[in-house]
Amino acid sequence: MSVRAAAWIAAPLALAAGWFKAMRVAQKRRATVMHGHWVVPGGGIAAAARPSLPLVVSLHGSDVFVAERVAVARRVATKVFRRAGAVTACSADLGRRAIALGAPGDRVEVVPYGVDVTRFRPDAAGRRARHAELGLPDAVPIVFAAGRLVRKKGFEYLIDALPALTSSPRPVLALAGAGDLGDELAGRARHAGVADRVRFLGNLTQDAVGAWFAAADVVVAPSVRDDSGNVDGLPNVVLEALAAGAPLVTTMAGGIGDVVEHDRTGVIVAERDAPAIARAIDALLGDSERRTRLAREARARVEARYGWPAAAARFEAAYDRALVFNSMPR
């Protein structure tokens, strides 16, 4: 039996367990609002656990992707959207797709999840420690990227960009994360002749990722909409890199364009364009004043708009809207 087949068989049991736990916690804590993350399954579980309570549903990306392609998930999502008093989407693109699935437009609001600006912050002193960790001289630039090693992260295009870099000394890519494409990406680096310039760090703690963001000369988030149509709503690493004051090269995939402004808080390139990634990295490595300006503006933007206090206030407003909606006669 395949792992995927076993997962489908176990799904009903997992849903039942989630429903039972949500119901018990809501009763124990005397909940006044149910908040489900991922419209399927979290939104459905929250709606079923306490049907009489106001409901807020928060979307992430993969949940909407599944609802768009699996009929039963689409039916559940449509019912949950109609039941919810507020729907939050971490990007405008995700909000539009939710409306296409049946979410009432007047109940959908874009609310990025935010970032802990005390954990992800500039730290120039940590740069030497990261070089020592890789066994590199201090003069060697570090390009850092982080995320699951899956298609929608676009890391193959970053590896393909490395041979085209002209900066001297030659930069080294430190790639954090694990996933199905680990072996393929390592093979791609060998085939491109840059295996000695790619370091696979595996899964890291959030604190360790924050330290790498702060130490990197350039951070790259080369996200794409993959061949199946799957795309991140808004990759957490984008906000984390901006908060850490890291010069960022990224794309417009999903909701990235909602938070990154080209040449103000980062550098935006086309999806799946390895030569453009290489040019952007080289340009940043060759212009320290520009890197400093982008980093300063990025940090200020995140502190003002995307820190946890700002996100919390938006979610509190969503709870208020759900309470009002639930009190209306229907």
Q: What is the pLDDT of residue 4?
A: 52
Q: What is the pLDDT of residue 5?
A: 52
Q: Among all chains, which residue has been given the structure tokens 């901006």? A: 242
In the chain, where the domains are located = 3-114+308-327, 124-301
- CATH 3.20.20.70 assigned to 3-114+308-327: no
pTM, entire model: 0.92
89-114: pLDDT as tens digits: 999 999 999 999 999 999 999 999 99
Distance CA 279, CA 293 (A): 19
29-81: pLDDT as tens digits: 999 999 999 999 999 999 999 999 999 999 999 999 999 999 999 999 999 99
The torsion defined by the Cα of 300, 301, 307 and 310, in degrees rounded to 10, comes to 120
Give how far Cα 152 sits from Cα of 210, 258, 330, Å. Answer: 22, 18, 41
Question: How would you list the strands of the sheet with 198-202, edge to edge?
Answer: 198-202, 172-176, 142-146, 218-221, 248-250, 267-268
Q: Is the pLDDT of residue 19 over 90?
A: no
Which residues have a Cβ under 8 Å from the Cβ of 7 and sit 6 or more positions away? none
- Mean pLDDT, residues 116-145: 95
Centroid of chain to Cα 165:
26
Please state the length of the chain: 330
Q: What is the pLDDT of residue 3?
A: 46
Q: Is the pLDDT of residue 326 over 70?
A: yes
Q: What is the pLDDT of residue 187?
A: 99
Say whether 124-301 and 3-114+308-327 share the same fold: yes
Average pLDDT of the chain is 95
At the topology level of CATH, where does 124-301 sit? Rossmann fold (3.40.50)
Q: What is the pLDDT of residue 1?
A: 42
Beta strands in 6-141 (DSSP E): 34-37, 55-59, 86-89, 108-110
Q: Is the pLDDT of residue 278 over 70?
A: yes
Give how far Cα 138 sits from Cα of 62, 135, 162, 216, 251, Å. Answer: 40, 9, 19, 11, 29
